[in-house]
Every structure is written in C-alpha cells, then in structure tokens.
Structure 1
Amino acid sequence: MTRGSPSAGQRRSRDSLFSVSAATTAQRHDLGLLPSAMLVWSAGLLGLLGSWWIAALFAVGGLLLAGWWLRAVRRPGWARRLALPGRAGIWALAGVSVLVLLLLVPQLRAAEGDPLRESAAAGHTATLAVELNERPRPIFATGSAGEQGGVRSVVVNAEVQAARVADERVPTTGEVVLLAPAESWAELLPGQRVRTTARLAPARDGELAVAAAYVHEPPRLLGEAPGWQQAADAMRTALREASGVLDPEPAGLLPGLVVGDISALPQRVVEEHRVAGLAHLTAVSGANVAVICGAVLLALRAIRVGPRASAIIAAAVLVWFVILVGPEPSVLRAGVMGGVGLLALVLGKERSALPALAFAVIALVLYDPAMAVSFGFALSVLATAALVLLAPGWVEKMAARGIPRGIGDALAIPAAAQLATAPVLAGMAGQISTVSIIANILAAPVVAPATVLGVLAAAAAPVWPWLAELLVRLAGPEVSWVITVGRKAAGIPGAAISWPSGWWGGLALALVVLVFVVLCRFRRLRTLLLAALLTLVLILVPLRDTLSDWPPARWSVLSCDVGQGDAFLLATEQHDRAVLVDTGPDPALLMSCLREAGVTRIPLVVLSHLHADHVGGLVAALEADAVGAVAIGPGRTPRWAWEQVRDEAARAKVPLVELVAGQRLGWPGLRMDVLGPVAPVSNEVHAEAAGTEINNTSLVIRAHTAAGRVLLTGDIELAAQADLLASGTDLTAEVLKVPHHGSRFTAPELVDAVQPELAMIGVGEDNSYGHPSKEVLRGLAERGVLVTRTDRDGHGAVVADVDGPSLLRRGARRERGRYSPVPATGRPRSAAPALSRARAQPRPRSSASCTAAADGGTVARGPT
C-alpha cells in the first residue's frame, strides 16, 4: 500500500461518517413533503410553459412513483441508504398528485381553452366587465421623440365577469391583463368592478391570463371598492404624506420598506440598490412579515401574554398587514413565506420549517398556478429554504468557534439568502453583485426597526398625523443609513460584474454555487476556496476595473449608449468633471454611463431641445452628480417637457439658463460656441408643435476639446440645416454628431461643410424609425468618415492623439479617422487637430451677460 492512500478501515470510517451525516440531515429536516412540493411546482411551471396535459402527466407520474415508493420502503435497509422519507411522504405524494388532477389541471385547461383567446388572437375589440385582483402597477415609459416619459400607463390583473365582442356574449371567466392610462386608472383599488372597452391581444406565453387588453378610456365604475380596501388605501396615502417631513430620498424609501411603494423614490437610489443587491428591501417579502410578526410576538412576550393568545394576535396583525399592502399574489406569497419563517421561530424546531415551506409551495401553486413561473416566487422559496437549511448550520459552526450567535445570525442569514438566490438574480439581471452580502449585513440591523416604525406610522397617520410624523422622524436615521450603505456599496469598483442572462446564465451560476458549496464541505478545500474568493473580491475585481480600458485615457468625448436617444460627455481638464449634452430617455442608462466614466461633477447640462429622448434622463444627472446649471435653447415645446425640466431643476435647486446663438462658454480644457438655432423661435403658448418644428429648435454647439472640434447638432432637420449653412458660420469640425440619430433628413451639404473625420450617432437597437439611414451612412463612408453608433458599438469615445482624434469603441481596438478628398469640394483635409486654428477665430459675444458658474466655467444666462 502506497503511503498516503487510505486503508480499508479508513475508507469504512469515512463512509460511515458520511452516512451518519446524511442520516443526521434527514433527522434534522423532515423531507416527507419535499417530493410533493417539487411535483406541484414542476407541473405548474411546465403546464403553463407548455400545455395542461403536461401537468396531468406529472400527476399520473406522481401516482406511479408513490406506488413504486410503497414497495421500496418495504426494504428498510435500501430505503435508509437512499434517505427515502417514510410512508407519510408517500401518501402525501399520492394525495398531492390527486389534487393536481382535480385543481391544477382544470385551471390550466380552462385558461388554455378559454373562448376569449380566439378574440384576442384576432385582435378584436371587446367590452369587458372586470373585477380588479390587485392595485394598478405603474409602467415607467422612457418616451421618445414627442412622447412624454414617466408613468403614463398602468398594468393590472383582473377577472372577467362578462365580455362582449361584436355585440355577442363570450362565455369567459378567465383573467386578463389590462394596460390602461395611468391618469384615470391608477387610483383604482382591488375588488373594484369596472366596465371598459379594450382592444384585445394574445397574452404572453407562460401566463395564466387569457388575453391582454389595451384600454384607452377612463373606467366606467360598476361599484365602489370594499371598505377595508378604502381604509388600507387611506393609510398608504397618509404614510406617504407623513414621510414628507424627511428629505426626498428617505421620504421615498420609507414607504418602499413598509408597503412596497416606490413611486416617490429617486431613480438614483433605485439604481444604487440594484447594484448593491438591496433592491429586495423595497419589495414586500416574507422578511417584512417576519419582522412585523416577530416584533408583535416580542412585545406580547414582554407583557407576559400566553403563547396561544400571542399566536392569535400575531395572525390578526399579519392579516391587517396583507390588507394594508394589498392582496396581490406577491404579497400573498410574502405572507405565506413569512409565516413559514415565523413558524420556525415560534416552534423552535428545525423539523417543522421545511415541511411548512413545502406545504406553502403546494398551497400557493394550487391556488394560483401563475406563481409557478414567477421569478419572485422562486426567489422567496429559495431564500426561505436557505434560511431553513443553510443558515442554522452555519450559525452553529460559528458558535462552535466562539462567535456569538447574534453576530452569527447577522452574518449567516444574508449570506445564505444571497447564495441561494444568486442564480435567479443573475439570470434576471445579467449581472452579479459582488457587494450584496456585505451590503445586506450592514443594512440588516436598521431594516427591522425602520419597518416597524413605518408600520406604526401607517396605522397612526389617518387618526393622529402628529404621532405619525414623530414615528417617521424616528425612522429617518435608519432609512438614511440604508441609503448610505447602498450608495457606498454601489460606488465600490467592481460592485456588479456582468454575467450571461436568461436560463443558461442562471443554470451556469447555480452549478458554480453548487460546486462551491460541495467543495466547502472539505476542510482543506474550504480554506483554499475562501482565500481564493477573498482574493477575487478584494483584489481582482477592483483590479479589473482599474486595468479596464474603459473609459480610455485622455478621452475628450464620450457617446453614452442610452438607447434611442442622445447623451454626450465633453471632458474638461479635471478628470472627474465633464459637460453633459442631452440626457437620453432613460435615467438608469445615463446613470450607468456617468458611473463608468467616473464623472462626479457636471458643470453644465445642455438640453439641445425638449423631446423625451433628449431630456428623459435629466433626473439621473440631477440626482447623481453636482450640477452647476441646466441650459436649454429658445424652444418651449412640448409643453409637458418644458414644465418637467423646469420642475426637476427647481427641485434640485439648480439654475436654469437659456442659450442663444453667439454665446461662448468655457472651462479649463473645454470651450463651447453656440451656433444655432439661427432662425427666430417663438415662445408664445400655442398648440403643441410638430416633431420637425421642435427638432429645428435644437441648439447647435461647436465644442473645442483636446481632441479637436466637435459639432453637436441635436436633431436639426433640413430647414434648420439650410439656415445654418446660409448664415455663413464656420462649421468645420473633426467630429460630427450626426443630426437626428442619422435620419434621412441630413443634407450632404452639411457634411461637406463640416468636413468631419469621425462621426458619432446615438441610436437605439432595432428602433422603429429606421435610424440611422442607409443613405446617410453611405454618404459618410464615401467621404471617408469613420462612424460609431451606439446601437452596434455601445459606448464610443474620441481620444486625443498626436496626429489627430482617434475613435475607440468599447471592447474594440482604437481606430483613427480616415481622410479622403470630399467630392463636393475636392479639397484634401489635414489630419492635424484644428483646435489652435479655432481659437484664433474669435466668435461674437452675445448681449446676454455671462457669469461664473460651477467649477470655474462661464455660463451664459438669459431669460427662462
């Protein structure tokens, strides 16, 4: 026998140790209901994704498995080796299989064969009488062109009580998903019956709903909501009003912690919590329920109330809380899952927790099969399972090493929950938060008191507003701490790393997590793995960002990939400060670009014109960075956009200034000349202008950067381009921001006048406008202009080189502008930067006064 190889006795000892460990696990956790829960969940999932008969096959398979199982348990030794549950688990599986046949399969079959599906497939218009199942959920629209961003629509699930298509009654009792105007539908409550006319469309695959209904009219009320729903709505409203005594960020977060209401939560906090792995705090979950019921039990125990009375009172508070938040499926799921955690806490028996979780899965999926395909349901089940199966063992091992149980709980609970839910989150978001565990550990101590104080404030607000405000002020420091943790965690280099999204990405990470957990069972490997993980988090991840080639060194212009819209950053000599020209339609995308670019101060935000794809992300710039001023052109349409920009700037206490042709602005390393609009723009209040008219009010700016001149043209179309050319203004620049996302309304004469070396196009992937135009791209190519477009290249950058500006696409090699004679003039162009020549040509100053702005720049002020 070679040295180091285990003897037979050692192998037997190791095998027996493993058997004892497996037996101990089986004894600590009753696995009898686990196969039944897996059967119901799988039947619901595949039945919705496939067809009802797949669920029926699972039920029949469950009955056959139960029969085989009965025979297997007659051989005790073999059954024990396989750790099979006893006869109770067999009968549970058989009973659940029958319930699947009697309850789940008929629901799936009825939904799949509902007559309203035919009308939806044909796109018919129907008159529906429905009862709302939940509160309308807002849909945030980024907007494009003349469309308004923000919340314009809501979505709500409703049960159809009567339907008529072409004056014929349709015998349906299915559910529909209503997409309706927020203005008239947002205030409706669960249980309210309404009548409406809607255009039907097929429901999405994997949904229990039989149709989607697009509504364009106010609801016709058939009755008021139940009194208890009205009382709950009054409490939610009163809580939002009481939270107004805090600063805007904590005032928006507190209702989110308590009732999941994030309507007033700034976009910056939403994005930071997503990166930091704290987004679950603003979604009502089982943790909220456990915190509230746990606080009730502790209070009752302090005044020596008996266990039975305590359980009854805690159950009553649980029902009240579910009513307060709203009886949506997600809240019902949270109540049941929170009850599971509460049950384990009250009974103090680990064997009772896993059967309770399995029973919750069975009951919820049988009650609402749509939960089987819900990501939220999967996250709740996995997080609760981790708290039951993993966290107690980890706490015991830490206690054995002298770590107090309180600290052990604080470390083990968030770590177990994050580890279990990481695959689902990665598949959903396409990224992994490397700071989520530590962020949750730091935030956990204040979440419970803030939630309890918020719930008390909600209960007191309708009756004693002064008491509610006092409770809100007491919760303020805790909520502010959560915001601080999220902000600091999201700001750590490498806080979120990319990961493949979708099913395959989730399964891949699940495999990685499984391998990690298995290898951690071996002591030597555990130490090595933990050391490697610590190295990865503390060294390699920050080093990855430090060594990243994005943004490139000495960048002068960055084009941010913000979808169908424009957002450009112009660098100053101070590396963390840049001027922002337009903000794109989506605050989250702009915020991501600013964070990656390392821009922390914005001396000036320039809005070329007031279309939503240029101003929709302004709130992100105002929230995320110190902004010196917001500048707009002479246009004031669309009216809603002008009012939105004005109000957002006022809330942020940032001055709003107007720019006109002839003004000059400057900062160290950057100068900007306003060249247009040339034609007068009327600011009189009138009907909303057409899109072309608004586009032609765009500011035209030539920026002088370290890489050369950059002509930013907004969305000017042919008329404004002709005016600009007729004015005789020198338009030459090394870099051209192609007008209007590369639309076909770009005159070749403008390109010839600019003579660009590089061209940048901000455009959304697969947009419905046909941007950029093939003719425009062909014309640029014929003139030897190198083009970058955000739909294909992502972020783009212009950097300063000795021989002229270079273009760098993210993840690609650097490319230098190529030069060729321009057919319209036949003049060859020099490759040398023209910055010095531009400075030798003074521009006329506007009569408007200039004053010093933030960061040592000059900003022209005019009437606003």
Structure 2
Amino acid sequence: MTGSRSDLRVVPAALAAWATAAALTRAPVPVSLVVAVVAVAVLAWGWRRPSLAFPAAVLVVVAATCGWRVAAVESSPVTQLAERGATVRAEVHVREDGRVFAGAGRAGTVVPVTVRVVESRGRTWRVRVRATAFVEGSERFVTGTRLTVRAGLQPSDDSDEAAVLRVHDWLPVGAGPWWWRWSEVVRDGVRDGVDHRDDQAAALVPALVAGDESGLSDRTREEFATTGLTHLLAVSGANLTIVLGIVLLGLRAVGASRRVVLVAGVLTVVAFVVVARPEPSVQRAAVMGSVALAGLLVGSRGAGLRALAWSVVALVVLDPWLATRPGFVLSVSATAGIIAPTPVLTRRLHWLPLPVATAVAVPIAAHLACLPVATSLSGEISMVAVFANIVVAPAVAPATVAGLAAGLVDLVAPALAPVPGTVAWAAASVIVRVARLGASAPGAAITWPWPWWTLIPVTPMVGWGVWWLLRRPALAVGMTLGLLVAIVRTPTPGWPPRDVVVVACDVGQGDGFVVPTAPGEAIVIDVGQEPGPIHRCLTELEIDRIALLLFTHGDADHVDGWRGAVRGREVAVLADGPSGGPSVPAARRIRLLAGQHVKVGDVGLEVLWPRADTGRVTPEARNDASVVVRATVRGHRILFTGDLGEEAQRGLGRLNADLSADVLKVAHHGSADRWEGLLERVGPSVALVGVGADNPHGHPTSAVLDDLARQRVAVWRTDTSGTIAVLDRDGRLVVSAR
C-alpha cells in the first residue's frame, strides 16, 4: 500500500512539473515569478501534507529555473546584438555534433553552440549563452571543439537561446577535453569496424551504437520513418538497456557483488553518454533506458512507473525546455507504454510462448502510447510499425553489441575489428531490409485527416479493442492476416482509373501532379512538402518510372517531398527553372525557359514562362519565376501555372498570345494575388487546386472561387476531394476523386 501511495504522489507531481515547464518556457519572466510565489505559498500552507507539498516544491524549482534562464537570455548582450542584426566575432564551444541539412537548393551544417566571448565594434563581452550556428557546406563539427567565428546574428525563436549565428568564416582554436577526444576515437572505431562494407547497413551500425547517422541516405531515413523505426536512428533508451543489460548480466553470471554491479552500471551509463554525446536524446536515453531496465529487473509495474515519474521530474528540473521537445514526449510515452500496458497485454497473449507474447506486446503498447504525438509530427499513422518492430527486434541487440565491440576492438587490434563489425553489419542488414520492404508497401501509412489531438480519445478505444481481440486467438490471427493483406495490397476499387489525362495528388498544402505517358510511367510536376503523400499517390497509380520530374520552382511545398517521389523509382530526366531545386538522382538534368518544347512519349510540353532572359532568382522571387508549361494529353490541354502572382501572370499573358487550355492548375493554391484576365484567356472547363485542409493562408480565397464560378468552371480541390483524376471518356473530360 505504501508503494502504491508513493506512485500516486509522484506521478501527479511529474505531470504538474511537465505541464508547468512546457508553459513557462514560452512565457515572460514575470509569469515564472508569479508561479514560483504561488507555489511557495502552497508549500508553506500544506507542508505537512506530502501529497500537496511535494508537487508544490517541484513547481518552485521548475519556475525558478525557467525564470532565471529566460532572464539570463533576455539580458545577454548577445541577444541585444542579435536584435540589431549585428555582425560579430565570437568564440564558441560546440555543444553537440554538427548535423548536415539539405533543403531546396541549399546545403549546410547546423551546430548547437555555447557562446563564450563576443566582440562587436571594439567592445568585448564574456558570456555563457546558448545559440545555434548555421555554416555553409557540409562540415564536421565535434562536441567540445572551440571555434572563433565571424557571424551575423539574428534573433532566435527559442527562448533558451540568445541568437542564431549565420557563420561567414570560422577557425578551430582548440579541441575539447580528453573525454570528448576519447569518445571520438571510439566512434571512429565503430565506423572503421564496418567500413569494409559500403552500404546502408554499414551506415546504420554507428547510428545504433552511438547515434551517428551521418552515413545514412535520405531514402533510408524516410523508410525508417514510414515503418516506425526512426527510434533506431537516434540513441534511445533501448540502446542503453541493451548495453547495460549485457554488462550487468555478465557480471551477475560471474558472481559479482551488488556493489560491483552498481558501480559497473553507473560507469556504463557515464561511458554511454560520453560516447553517444550528451545531446537531449542521449540524456533521455540515459534516464529512460535505466528506468526501463529497473522496471524489468524489479518486476513491479508500480515501481517502474514511480521511477519514470521521478526521472521526468529530474529532467524537467534540470532542463525545462525538454518538456516541449518531441523526442522527450515520445520517450516518456513509449517508456510508460512499455512499463504499464505491456504486462497486461502479455498476459492477454497467454496462448503464445512467453518470449513471443512479450515481443508482440511491447511494440503494440509503445506504438499506442506514442500514436497521438507521432501523428502530430508526421500527419500519418504507420500501419506497419508494429510488424516492423516485431521483425527487427531480434536483430537490434546483436547489431548494437557487435558494433560496440568492433569499436572497442579497434582500439587495441584494428585488424580484428571487422570480425565483430561483420556480425553487426549482418544484423543491421536485416533491419534495413525490413524498413525498405515495409516502406514500399502501398498501405504502409495512412494520413490522419483530423487534428492530432482527436487521437487522444481514440487511442484508448483502439487499445481496448486490441485488448479484447487478443483474448480470442483465432480472431486475432485472422484480423492480423487481414491487416497484412490490406497493407501489402491496399484495396482501391476503381483505382487507378483508365484513360487518365492528369492526376492532382493530395499532398496537403502544396502541389503534386501526375501526367501518365505510358503504362507504369509518367511526368511528375512538383511533389509537395512531405515524401509520404506523393509516394502513396504514385504507388496507387502504379507508377514505377518517372520519365520527367519537373520542379516548377524551389519552394518547399513543391520540392521537399522529392524523396517520396523517387523512392523505388527511376528518374529519366530532372527539369527545373531559374529558381532551381534539389539535386535528385536522374539520368540527366535540364533547365526550362519560355519557348522550349519537350516531348515525352505521346505527351507534348510547351514551356510558356519564365522569360528566356531570366537571370538569377532570389528566394523572395521564386513564385513569379515558376515554370509554366502546357501539356497536351489525348488531345486535351492542361496549363500548369506554378505559383505565379498577378504581375507574373500579366507577363505570361503578354508573352503568349494563346493560353487556352481545357484544364487549369490554379496558380499559387488559389491565392488572391491573381490577374483576373488570365482565367478569361485560358477558358478552362475544369480547374484543379492543390491545397491543404485548414491551411493558415486561407487558400483558395473566396475571390478566386468567385472568379471561377462566374466563368462556370468546375472546381476540384484536393483539400475537399482528396486525389483527383481528370479522365478522357470518348473525347469528353470527366473527373474521378478518391
């Protein structure tokens, strides 16, 4: 009874601390002061009541920490210099390893840093504030390294950071302490242990062991995201649990004392954090992995929940900004799911052998616990996550342990490191293969059409349904097999349709259009912002080869989903305009300007805009530099207008005497920035609008819809109709949507 009451006291305190930290990190300093004063008053009034005093004491500490750190940032000279947009010279210490990013037409490295010295206009300040630095190009920055930089400062959106540094030039002036240098040697050893294998399985091993995902391709990252295996690419509690479990079980097997086991466990956690870097994900892993292991060893669900609650309190007190980090929320949710529902589900699966029942129950519980948060991040629900995690589970521990062994062996006998490295590679190959197969399934993920929070009441109902179903073996097996069939071969009656002229894919707030050119082949014009929707659309249309991939302009909502378009597909020709676009693997690349003609199979493309003399395009001018093409398909004309605004549309009209088309892709998702004369010049019978539901821009605007209504044009929108296909029926255009 005492333990139960302790659980009830600690859990509410942890939830209160978590909610308070999440609110105060975005609030002004006076709000933190008010919360602290109120909490002190409650503590003074109810100090004899532990159920009241303990949460109040925790809130005092959280509020004081938030207020102090926000005040320190707001009063920092770095913050004031950033508000003026000053260019400074500074000394910074790398707080976390730099991460390479790639976007529309750009590449660079983002580096979390601590600013220690800043100099501007002859004045020098010694400070200690956090910031984020952006460096052009793909550079390697290791935790602990000291740099001198010349950078332009900009205000940061994060209340815990003083500025964003746009680095113009930089120079290393010193390495970090010996423990960071030692950890880099171990990380290099892990990489060296598998470098005799040049594939994505070899690149996965450093990610499993130390969170080093630098060698992973964008395609692999997307496949892991789709199959719910992303947690393997970052250091998670599971990694530490595996390593710590091997160490402790080995010591127990040789009869080590409890004290030796405890010291070894602490040293293992410390070494793990140093090797994997003290990033937020690693800090969470160190706590959550230890908690999960403690819960399993103790065998008490209550003890595990109490330990989890204590860890939440400790983490949000030490760093309140973790409270709003998606990784923290996912870590806590997954750990709670593993500790609480897993034993219940395991008992429900009594008709399976215990190891199998546990292997099935753990991913089901974790997936359900994380479902609302994961959906809020991706907008999708992975249908293969549970299956994928069950299949890869036996391979994760061998890949992690053998990979770490390769790194340690490399320290003393480099020639022998490939032996455990090969074992790690073989296990990692299984994981990569499962992710690839799972992501290629047509029903791998489904889009959740409602706000993510609607899953909060839905998830418990789903959990109850699973609990009810697992008691009936025949029905559970039958439903599982049926779900697998639906994932592998998603039922799509009447889809893909026959005689397609053009398809507007539902890619959310963005554009993604498909013009079939031959069986299994198509022209793809823009790809949306996320890879999942365009991949599903092309899969459902049975497109396995892209004859021409055209980016009308370089904005994210038109190009950033390219990895989904090329997933498992060959791209023959990549085309873009003056604003450029991402570098996509293709046989050849061309630049399109007005006056050009392109023939793909029986489909002809006329390039109508931008002008042939268009030079370099700034990011602000991308919309008006959109490539405008008119496709002729089965005798029907389709005009794709990108994101042209009013002035560019007028220019298009002046440059081209004939703009007529049967189908019009409405410019800029239906923005009010339009030339009313364009619609009259085109004279379409069908208008397609690529637009996301409840988008913040108000697209399509009522003004555009009124224009189309006056011209008696049939309007089809992806936000209300989903994916839309315009078909040819005996020379007449008809529309089918799903």
TM-score (norm 2): 0.79
1:105 has 2:60 as partner:
no
Q: Find the aligned partners of 2:280 and 2:272 in 1 and give their Cα distance.
A: 14
State the one-letter code of the partner of 1:433: S
Q: Find the aligned partners of 2:57 and 2:667 in 1 and give their Cα distance.
A: 65
Superposed CA RMSD in Å reads 5.0
8 Å contact kept, 1:116–1:170: no
Q: Find the aligned partners of 2:363 and 2:600 in 1 and give their Cα distance.
A: 51
Per the alignment, residue 318 of structure 1 pairs with 269
Per the alignment, residue 4 of structure 1 pairs with none
Q: What is the 5 A alignment of 1:312-711?
A: 312-345=263-296, 352-395=303-346, 398=349, 401=350, 403-460=352-409, 467-490=416-439, 491=441, 493=443, 495-496=445-446, 498=448, 500-502=450-452, 504-509=453-458, 511-512=460-461, 527=471, 538=482, 542=486, 546=491, 555-562=500-507, 566-571=511-516, 574=519, 577-584=520-527, 586=529, 588=531, 591-595=534-538, 597-607=540-550, 611=554, 617-622=561-566, 624-627=567-570, 629-632=572-575, 644-645=583-584, 648-649=585-586, 654=587, 664-666=599-601, 671-676=602-607, 688=616, 700=629, 702-705=631-634, 708-711=636-639
8 Å contact kept, 2:503–2:513: yes
1:110-163 per-position Cα deviation (integer Å, ceiling 9, x unaligned) = 13434626985993346565544333445553x3xxxx14x435252x445466
Q: Find the aligned partners of 1:513 and 1:743 in 2 and give their Cα distance.
A: 40
Cα distance, 1:546 vs structure 2: 2.7
Per the alignment, residue 729 of structure 2 pairs with 801
Q: Find the aligned partners of 1:407 and 1:59 in 2 and give their Cα distance.
A: 50
Per the alignment, residue 213 of structure 1 pairs with 164
**Mean alpha-carbon deviation: is it higher for 302-311 or for 798-807?**
302-311
Aligned partner of 2:235 among 284, 294, 308: 284
**Mean alpha-carbon deviation: is it higher for 363-372 or for 118-127?**
118-127
Per the alignment, residue 828 of structure 1 pairs with none
**Mean alpha-carbon deviation: is it higher for 294-303 or for 117-126?**
117-126
Q: What is the 5 A alignment of 1:59-74?
A: 60-61=41-42, 64=45, 67-68=48-49
Instruction: State percent identity of aligned pairs.
Output: 29
1:287-312 per-position Cα deviation (integer Å, ceiling 9, x unaligned) = 11001122233444556655543443
1:44 has 2:21 as partner:
yes
Per the alignment, residue 35 of structure 2 pairs with 54
Cα distance, 1:328 vs structure 2: 1.2
Q: Find the aligned partners of 1:396 and 1:809 in 2 and give their Cα distance.
A: 45
Q: What is the 5 A alignment of 1:822-861?
A: none
Q: Find the aligned partners of 1:308 and 1:563 in 2 and give their Cα distance.
A: 57
TM-score (norm 1): 0.69
Q: Find the aligned partners of 1:451 and 1:696 in 2 and give their Cα distance.
A: 49
Please say which structure displays the higher CA radius of gyration.
Answer: 1
State the one-letter code of the partner of 1:289: L
Per the alignment, residue 227 of structure 1 pairs with 178
8 Å contact kept, 1:426–1:505: no
1:216 to 1:171, Cα distance in 2 relative to 1, 3 A: closer
Cα distance, 1:327 vs structure 2: 0.6
8 Å contact kept, 2:322–2:328: yes
State the one-letter code of the partner of 1:419: L
1:774 to 1:239, Cα distance in 2 relative to 1, 3 A: farther
1:318-375 per-position Cα deviation (integer Å, ceiling 9, x unaligned) = 3222112111122111111112233345556666544433332232222222223333
Q: Find the aligned partners of 1:65 and 1:678 in 2 and give their Cα distance.
A: 73
1:18-66 per-position Cα deviation (integer Å, ceiling 9, x unaligned) = xxxxx69949x96664454445434434443553233553465466556
Per the alignment, residue 108 of structure 2 pairs with 152
Give the secondary structure class of the aligned counterpart of 1:568.
strand
8 Å contact kept, 2:391–2:434: yes
1:135 has 2:97 as partner:
yes
Q: Find the aligned partners of 1:750 and 1:30 in 2 and give their Cα distance.
A: 67
Give the secondary structure class of the aligned counterpart of 1:343.
helix
**Unaligned runs of at least 5 residues, structure 1:** 1-22, 70-89, 811-864
State the one-letter code of the partner of 1:702: A
8 Å contact kept, 2:527–2:534: no
8 Å contact kept, 2:153–2:166: yes
8 Å contact kept, 1:423–1:506: yes
Q: Find the aligned partners of 2:446 and 2:184 in 1 and give their Cα distance.
A: 37
**Mean alpha-carbon deviation: is it higher for 592-601 or for 327-336?**
592-601
**Unaligned runs of at least 5 residues, structure 2:** none
Q: Find the aligned partners of 2:338 and 2:672 in 1 and give their Cα distance.
A: 58
Give the secondary structure class of the aligned counterpart of 1:797.
strand
Q: Find the aligned partners of 2:186 and 2:276 in 1 and give their Cα distance.
A: 10
Give the secondary structure class of the aligned counterpart of 2:169.
coil
Give the secondary structure class of the aligned counterpart of 1:629.
strand
Give the secondary structure class of the aligned counterpart of 2:514.
strand
8 Å contact kept, 2:292–2:304: yes
1:516 to 1:181, Cα distance in 2 relative to 1, 3 A: same
Cα distance, 1:805 vs structure 2: 1.3
8 Å contact kept, 1:201–1:213: yes
Cα distance, 1:449 vs structure 2: 1.0
1:787 to 1:260, Cα distance in 2 relative to 1, 3 A: farther
1:745 to 1:170, Cα distance in 2 relative to 1, 3 A: same
1:391 to 1:62, Cα distance in 2 relative to 1, 3 A: farther
Per the alignment, residue 74 of structure 1 pairs with none
**Mean alpha-carbon deviation: is it higher for 189-198 or for 672-681?**
672-681
Per the alignment, residue 838 of structure 1 pairs with none
Q: Find the aligned partners of 2:7 and 2:611 in 1 and give their Cα distance.
A: 79
Q: Find the aligned partners of 1:237 and 1:313 in 2 and give their Cα distance.
A: 24
8 Å contact kept, 1:43–1:58: no
8 Å contact kept, 2:608–2:656: no
Q: Find the aligned partners of 2:517 and 2:667 in 1 and give their Cα distance.
A: 24
1:262 to 1:799, Cα distance in 2 relative to 1, 3 A: farther
8 Å contact kept, 2:227–2:384: yes
1:758 has 2:686 as partner:
yes
